[in-house]
Amino acid sequence: MEIQETAAVPGAYVITPHKYPDPRGDFFESLRTDLISEAVGRPFTVRQVNYSVSKRNTLRGLHGVLIPPGQAKYVTCVRGAFRDIAVDLRVGSPTFGRYTSNLLTAENGVAVHITEGLGHGFLALTDDTCISYALSTVHVPGTQFEIDPLDPDLDLPWGFTEPPLLSEKDARAPSLEEARARGMLPRWPETFPEDAEHFAPAVPG
């Protein structure tokens, strides 16, 4: 597999598998924790695996997890297709508020690894879209938080042509600036000090 860190959001990685087709179909490796750990620079140990199934035009996110405990995600498409977006929520990061957007489908097999401190969301592009999340920590009640996925200051490129289907909690989530003012967000580089190696010095403003 090919593992590439995104330029827009350090800590978000796009994983493209090498497929091996034959007359029966094809085969590819979806997850190699040894290769992910090497790319990220720290162990990625899977503690929990979740699946979600969504109707077309369902928007889930933006979701984050407080640090501690923090939570890295390895996101793949089992069925259907979705627009996946990761946003840097680490206060003090030179890329705070920036995003990376990727198309994940059952056919292309592309995955996204999202490190601790980033927010994540997706828009389902087909009915019955099924998504798998391999998580570095188990669910801890009360540690997840939400950011408004339609925050105009973020201006995320979801690409929907009609109002998306949102949960009540996501629909009333605070904007990024409101969440920062409330002290809800993780701070960089306190998430992991070695993350500082990914960045050039921050510029004023």
* Residue numbers annotated as active site: 63, 133
Task: Report the SS3 class of residue 78.
Answer: strand
Residue 97: name the closest of 152, 176, 202, 24 by CA: 176
Backbone phi and psi for residue 145, each to the nearest 5 degrees, phi listed first: -135, 165
Q: Which residues have C-beta within 8 Å of that of residue 162, sequence separation ≥ 6? A: 57
Rounded CA separation 22/81 (Å)? 24
Task: Report the SS3 class of residue 61.
Answer: strand
Owner of token pair 């928007």: 59
Give me the DSSP letters along 164-204: PB--HHHHTPPPHHHHHHTT-S-BTTTS-GGGGGGSPPPPP
Backbone phi and psi for residue 72, each to the nearest 5 degrees, phi listed first: -90, 145
